Each structure stands twice: as C-alpha cells, then as structure tokens.
C-alpha cells in the first residue's frame, strides 16, 4: 500500500481517496457495507452549531451526467455529532476523520470548529465557506477574499489541527480566494464545491427543486473542477484536495497530476455505495498501466508531500 500513500498536512494516508462530505453520512452507515478502514479517510456530513432540518422537498433532481441537490445542510448539530455520531464511528473506523463544518457567521464557524478540534478522532477540519454570511447581506463567505480570510483567521485562532477551506466554484476568480485563505493561515484548500444550477418541470412550468436552485455535481463537472484545481495548485504552496465529478481511478490520477495531494469522491457514492472501495482497488492497475511507481511522484504528492 506504500505506493498509494500520500501525506496530507502532516498526516499520512494509505491512499488519496476520500469520500466527500454529504455523500458518506457519518461513516458508520457505509461500514455496514464494507470495511471503511481501506479509505484514506472521509469527510463527514456538514455540521453546524445548531441542528438543521434542511430545505423543503423536493430537494434532489436528476440531470444528464449528474444531479442537483438542495438539501440545506441537514444535520443533528455539533453536540449530537460529538455525543452520538463520533462514538459510533469509533467502533468501525480506526483512522483520523475529516470534520466538515458549516456556519452562518464567523463566530459560529469558530465555535463549532473549536468543539470538534478537541475530539481525538478528528484529524482535519474542512471548513465549508459556501454558506451565506447572515451578517454580511447573505453573500457566501467563499465569494469574497476578505470574508473567507476572516473565517480562516477566526478558526485558526481557536484550533490546533490542520484547517482546510472548502472553496466554492461560483466565483469569477477562485485563485484570489485560495490565496487569501493561504495568507490568512489555512493549512490547505479543497475544491470544488458544487456548481449552482436548476431544472424546470416542463409540465408544471415551475422549478423542480423547492429551493429553485441547487448544487450541481457528478461527472459533468469534472473538467471544470480539474481546471480550477490546476489553477489553484499552481498559485498556492499549501496542499490542495481535488474534487468534483470524480468517479474512477483514472479521474483520481488526473486530479493528482493537476496538482492535488488527495482527492474527494462525492456524487459517485450516491450512485454506487461501493464507488470509493472500487476506485481504491483499481488504482494499482491504473498506475501500472501508466508507469506510475508511487502516487507521491505525481504533481500534488511531490509538491506537498
């Protein structure tokens, strides 16, 4: 397994494959299907300070080569995650887990991250800055360099573990956001989050999603994600986690060649719950076919590992 290993912010992973937040629950659900310890790690469901019921239904819509979702960060809140979800996970997963955190104010981000930072099983904090800033007119933290930097500074001030900022692609210049996060002290960035999209029901002539718009994910967005990973990885010196439409071992290798250190797999898990397991099993053969001795020799692993 050594040839598959990568180093993410000082923590060695057996392989670079990481199920993305929102597509893998809190892990134990998938542990009923296969041994999830074969994963590099996984990013658990986006967690907020308070419980959230999420958006009204319908909040899922099919698209060619992808899907739309407007789940609305449904989660039980950080107290329940710490008291219930993490103990259940500890029974089936013996590696550090990535805690995904969302918030609607700088203070909420900091408080939730501080709570999770104290949990022994949490290895990294992945901070989703795609949330609307309720104190800033509703614009997403991730669309403004200063707003994104303010979240990074607040979280870094109250945590000791690596902080990864999950970037939205719904911006004109994602590089400027990534650089602002790096300058503010982020230990890494992960990208891309979902693209904004919508569908209309031809019979009712109304939007399919109750929320009108939602996040577009799946294989269709892979070229956009790869382009943004390339741009960011060549503009910052901190590790980059690539994601967006990844569904095969070849996609993982392509992301690493673009400059990623590790790769998250999202929508593919919702189509096939064994997607990550199968990708990991396929990696050695794909590497052999392409003459790759070790993943660390690829761009991202070599640059950051």
Span 159-204, pLDDT tens digits: 999 999 999 999 999 999 999 999 999 999 999 999 999 999 999 9
Whole-angstrom distance, CA of residue 283 vs CA of residue 3: 10
Residue-range domain boundaries for the chain: 2-304
Average pLDDT, the chain: 94
Catalytic center residues: 131
Alpha helices (H) along the chain: 28-31, 78-80, 86-90, 106-117, 145-156, 174-183, 222-233, 249-258, 267-271, 275-289, 299-304
Statement: 2-304 belongs to CATH 3.40.718.10: no
Span 279-303, pLDDT tens digits: 999 999 999 999 999 998 886 756 5
3-state secondary structure 224-268: HHHHHHHHHHCCCCCCEEEECCCCCHHHHHHHHHHCCCEEEECHH
Write out the two tokens for 226: 């790869």
Would you state the pLDDT for residue 140?
87
Identify the band that residue 131 occupies on the pLDDT scale cut at 50, 70 and 90: confident
- How would you label 87-99 residue by residue, b for 16+ Cβ within 10 Å and e otherwise? eebeeebebbbbb
């Amino acid at each position: 397994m050594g040839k598959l290993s990568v180093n993410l912010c000082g923590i060695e992973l057996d392989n670079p494959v990481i199920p993305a937040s929102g597509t893998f629950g809190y892990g134990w659900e998938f542990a009923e299907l296969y041994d999830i310890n074969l994963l590099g790690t996984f990013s658990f469901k986006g967690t907020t300070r308070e419980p959230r019921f999420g958006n009204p239904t319908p909040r899922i819509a099919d698209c060619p080569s992808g899907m739309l979702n407007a789940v609305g960060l449904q989660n039980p809140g950080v107290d329940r995650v710490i008291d219930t979800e993490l103990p259940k996970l500890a029974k089936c997963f013996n590696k550090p887990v990535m805690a995904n955190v969302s918030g609607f104010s700088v203070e909420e981000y900091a408080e939730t991250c501080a709570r999770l930072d104290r949990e022994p099983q949490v290895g990294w904090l992945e901070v989703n800055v795609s949330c609307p800033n309720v104190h800033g007119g509703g614009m997403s933290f991730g669309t403004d360099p200063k707003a994104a930097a303010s979240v990074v500074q607040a979280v870094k001030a109250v945590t000791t573990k690596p902080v990864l900022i999950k970037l939205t692609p719904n911006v004109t210049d994602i590089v400027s956001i990534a650089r602002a996060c790096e300058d503010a002290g982020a230990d890494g960035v992960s990208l891309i989050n979902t693209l904004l999209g919508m569908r209309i029901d031809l019979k009712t002539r109304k939007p399919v999603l109750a929320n009108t718009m939602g996040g577009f994910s799946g294989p269709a967005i892979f070229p956009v994600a790869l382009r943004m990973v390339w741009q960011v990885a060549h503009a910052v010196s901190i590790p980059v986690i690539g994601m967006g439409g990844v569904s095969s071992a070849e996609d993982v290798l392509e992301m690493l060649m673009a400059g990623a250190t590790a790769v998250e797999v999202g929508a593919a898990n919702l189509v096939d719950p064994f997607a990550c397991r199968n990708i990991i099993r396929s990696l050695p053969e794909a590497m052999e076919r392409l003459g790759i001795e070790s993943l660390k020799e690829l761009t991202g692993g070599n640059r950051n590992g």
